[in-house]
């Protein structure tokens, strides 16, 4: 990381959920954090909370599916701070109509634009600065659905998260020679606002047993604070009370 001690992190999807928790955990560890997302009010609230606790943070409103805007955001960060040490790709969505029976092409395309293309756009946008530094870390927030196919998340979400996993490993194959490394962070169920989009919203009791945003925030900080010689290629993390296991009937063979 920076020889001058300043470490700059860019967190997309930083206005809520995992991105918000990651931004707060990084700021608590002394990182200068730039949060991006589509809702300026949510970003401002995160920045205020971080700065009120003595951290350094700022906001850049952004839709990651617009490549030109992504490039401008990365250039703005470099112009202001001189570097980007960490990218956390946490922006992601799902839709209510997510099964083969009711899925719509508009929903599929939007998921691909944000969950996959947006990740790629941000990774490409930080590459010039990271290659110049010969140092940099990227954390792509995928999903348990990126490792294990199941019906509940739907084909579009599952497909995009599998693709993010492949994209992450491909990045490491090419960019390790430049001192860069990427981690695919694949959590099981997390109690975040995206749960409200599910056809059946989990109960409060069920959500209390899930991973919490702060659990992923701590995980993001753990990866980010590893020395440059360490590449944490992939983390698969789930609640102990894993409903994907519990709802799977035991074999009778």
pLDDT of residue 253: 45
Annotation marks residue 157 as catalytic: yes
Neighbours of 63 (CB within 10 A): 15
Indicate the range of 19-28, 140-149, 239-248 predicted with least confidence. 239-248
pTM of the model: 0.94
| Band (233; pLDDT cuts 50, 70, 90) | very high
Region 77-93: what's the mean pLDDT?
98
Percent of the chain beyond pLDDT 90? Answer: 89
Q: Is the pLDDT of residue 66 over 70?
A: yes
- Report the alpha-carbon angle 196-49-211, nearest 5: 40
Q: What is the pLDDT of residues 119-155, one digit of tens each?
A: 999 999 999 999 999 999 999 999 999 999 989 899 9
Instruction: Report pLDDT digits (tens) over 193-220.
Output: 878 878 888 999 999 999 999 999 999 9
Per-residue confidence (pLDDT) for residue 197, from 0 to 100: 77
Q: How far apart are CA 85 and CA 180, in angstroms?
A: 10
- Domains plus CATH for the chain? 8-245 (3.40.50.720)
Q: How confident is the model at residue 54 (pLDDT cuts 50, 70, 90)?
A: very high
How does DSSP assign 118-172, residue by residue? Answer: HHHHHHHHHHHHHHHHT-EEEEEE--GGGTS--STT-HHHHHHHHHHHHHHHHHH
Better pLDDT: 160 or 199: 160
Output DSSP code: residue 203.
P
Catalytic residue among 10, 121, 157, 171: 157
> In whole angstroms, what is the distance from residue 163 CA to residue 142 CA?
9
Tally of CB atoms within 10 A around 14? 31
């Amino acid at each position: 990381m920076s020889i001058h001690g300043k470490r700059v992190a860019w967190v997309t999807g930083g206005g809520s959920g995992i991105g918000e928790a990651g931004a707060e955990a990084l700021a608590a560890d002394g990182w200068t954090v730039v949060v991006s997302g589509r809702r300026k009010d949510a970003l401002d609230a995160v920045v205020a909370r971080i700065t009120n606790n003595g951290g350094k943070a700022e906001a850049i409103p952004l839709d990651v599916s617009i490549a030109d805007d992504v490039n401008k955001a990365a250039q703005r960060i470099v112009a202001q701070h001189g570097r980007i040490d960490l990218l956390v790709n946490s922006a992601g969505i799902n839709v209510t109509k997510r099964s083969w029976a009711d899925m719509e092409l508009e929903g599929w395309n939007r998921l691909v634009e944000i969950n996959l293309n947006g990740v790629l756009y941000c990774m490409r946008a930080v590459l010039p600065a990271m290659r110049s530094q010969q140092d940099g870390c990227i954390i792509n927030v995928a999903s348990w659905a990126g490792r294990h196919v199941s019906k509940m998340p739907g084909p579009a979400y599952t497909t995009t998260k599998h693709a993010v996993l492949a994209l992450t490993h491909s990045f490491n194959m090419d960019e390790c020679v430049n001192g860069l490394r990427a981690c695919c962070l694949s959590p099981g169920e997390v109690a975040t606002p995206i749960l409200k989009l599910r056809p059946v919203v989990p109960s409060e009791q069920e959500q209390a047993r899930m991973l919490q945003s702060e659990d992923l925030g701590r995980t993001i900080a753990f990866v980010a604070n590893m020395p440059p010689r360490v590449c944490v290629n992939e983390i698969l993390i789930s609640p102990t009370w894993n409903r994907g296991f519990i709802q799977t009937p035991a074999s009778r063979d």
